[in-house]
Amino acid sequence: QVSTFVGLDRTLYQSMALLRHHLNICDVAITAQGLDSIFPDIFSSRPIKDVVKLQTTLFALQYSSAKSWMDSGLAEKVVAVMGHSFGEITALCVAGALSLQDTVKLISGRAKLVKDEWGPDPGAMMAVEGDQKLLDAIVEHVNQETDGSISIACYNGARSFTLAASKNAIGPLAEMLVEKGLKSKRLNVTNSFHSTLVDGLVSRL
């Protein structure tokens, strides 16, 4: 989800038969559900503006990459499949817990909710490195000064975090992080996932 494009190298697609095979299988599963083909947008470095097409295309590349590695001889050595955030859904499919068809249905249905039912504020996300206690204090302070929307969305490591916030709160948050000397980067995402801004969609899933 932390991307607005895929940018698969066309030469790689043409030269790797296994990758091409699995991508083509994904495309058949996707178009069979009345969705747009992943081609040719999967090769483009330009943003894919439609979130449904973006997420089905990202899934197709994740799934096909994993299956290609496994078909290359690693399958017998794989004892578990893990994913992070959006990758968790891909991992369920690669592991066989979800069929390809059901996974496409889940991903596209969820993306349609984001596209059609998300509120007026898409929100924003930011990667931050630093001490958690200091970060907690910053979040609490900026929340008191703004709309209270800031939260730690992902705990990626002992000093690595992803923050989610409203559009209005992300600016003051960024300023405070700079002031306190914490390294941060605004993420190029379509929406503020893993946040309270998603709450309105949960009952529709």
Q: 84 and 14, same structural domain?
A: yes
pLDDT score at 100 = 99
For 44-54, write each residue's pLDDT tens digit: 999 999 999 99
pLDDT at residue 36 above 80? yes
pLDDT at residue 81 above 90? yes
How much is the pTM? 0.87
pLDDT score at 38 = 98
pLDDT at residue 116 above 70? yes
pLDDT score at 1 = 56
The CATH number linked to 59 is 3.40.366.10
Average pLDDT on 89-93 reads 98
pLDDT score at 196 = 87
What is the domain range of residue 170? 124-201
**End of a domain among 93, 116, 139?**
116
pLDDT at residue 2 above 60? no
pLDDT at residue 181 above 60? yes
Q: Number of folded domains in the chain?
A: 2
The pLDDT mean for the chain works out to 95
Average pLDDT on 141-170 reads 96
Average pLDDT on 169-190 reads 96
Amino acid at 192: S
The confidence band for 156, taking pLDDT boundaries of 50, 70 and 90, is: very high
Q: 137 and 77, same structural domain?
A: no
Average pLDDT on 110-127 reads 94
Q: 110 and 93, same structural domain?
A: yes
Q: What is the DSSP-derived secondary structure letter of residue 130?
A: S
In a domain, 4, yes or no: no
Pick the closest to residue 127 from 169, 82, 189 (CA basis): 189
